[in-house]
Amino acid sequence: MNPNWAEQRAKKAFLALEDGSVFRGYAFGAGRDTVGEVVFNTGMTGYQEILSDPSYAGQFVVMTSPELGNTGLNAADMESAELYANGLIVHDLNGSSSWRAEESLAKSLVRHGKPGLAGIDTRALTVKIRTRGSLKGYMAVSGGISPEDAIEKAVAWEGLDGQDYASRVTCPAPWEWDESGELTRSWGIADTLPPADMRLVAYDYGIKRNILRSLRLAGFAVTVVPARTPAEDVLAMKPDGVFLSNGPADPAPLGYAVEASRALLGKVPIMGICLGHQILALATGAKTYRLKFGHHGCNHPVKNLRTGRVEITSQNHNFAADVDTLDASVIEITHLNLNDRTVEGIAHRIEPMFSVQYHPEACPGPHDSRYLFENFREMIAGT
């Protein structure tokens, strides 16, 4: 499954950034030039789950781990049916050697129409992003454009701010999650599943399969609905609880989601994560803002202010809730990021609602935060 390295490295390519910088390397994956927001991910592994996470739509992911590709890709570890990241940037590209690999990283990118760029000085690129912030870029892998024109295209692209990407990645119609085959293939625990004795409606702003698996393991029967589903349609399903999922890009333009969440608040218990957390913050009167370079990786320390415990968490977001706009008489801050002191969790002081900025299903990542799904069950049971 290893590529012809001499032939591969002959495919000269480059990344052009909006600030005029050009990073040169060689192309792999699909031979398609495209734009994207360049972010770095500090995970040591998990590139398959990252690429197939709809939250990465519109982004070029720079992996800070120097070698990628060893584990290949397989159907069981996909977080969705396709690859959503606009492109992948790595330092060294390896062929796959894992016994679980069903396809190489390069071949999978080709099949999904996603470009890749290797041979890049990812350390220098990461330092630039940390210094300047997330940057718009143009990945030139086809050989048909000059660096000057590529820079112009990066500057001209509208970017992710103010863009509704949740509507681009959501499901087209409501559907029921069937856990049996998924859990058998991925976790091998279908025989030990608890009864699904609570009915849950999950808003799909870019939901991952392992979130659905985690909800099923907590005893929820899950119906997934599109991002624009009105609150009255959800309430007509008579759920025991409502879940707001992760998703890509900027929460500010998702007025339909904020309106639905506000209408559901107080009528049914609600849990949100990632983009869902930001939507709930907006629904309770707060504002959101763009982080300098976002949180992307599976090693972010978060303190649970209620218990005093520190969790190592998996994160992927470029926006955060503004602590100065949260109404302390209504909202309790429950979790805090120990790197930059940003808000990582909130809870309503009156209504049954809580949310976290990070990914408690953590695929990839540590399982420190899996307890939150059980906390949601307990909240519903006590309502």
Mean per-residue pLDDT over the chain, rounded: 94
More confident residue, 230 or 383: 230
Q: What distance in Å separates the CA atoms of residue 139 and residue 342, rounded to the nearest whole number?
A: 31
Q: Which pLDDT score, from 0 to 100, does residue 383 have?
A: 84
Q: How confident is the model at residue 1 (pLDDT cuts 50, 70, 90)?
A: very low
Active site (catalytic) residues: 274, 359, 361
Confidence of residue 178 (pLDDT cuts 50, 70, 90): confident
Which domains are seen in the chain, by residue range? 5-156 (3.50.30.20), 166-381 (3.40.50.880)
Crossing angle of helices 209-217 and 179-186, in 10° steps, is 100
Q: Could you tell me what percent of the chain has a pLDDT over 70?
A: 94
Model pLDDT for residues 53-101, shown as the tens digit of each residue: 999 999 999 999 999 999 999 999 999 999 999 999 999 999 888 899 9
Average pLDDT over residues 168-193: 73
- In tens, the pLDDT along 237-283 reads 999 999 999 999 999 999 999 999 999 999 999 999 999 999 999 99
**How long, in residues, is the chain?**
383
Percent of the chain with pLDDT over 90: 87
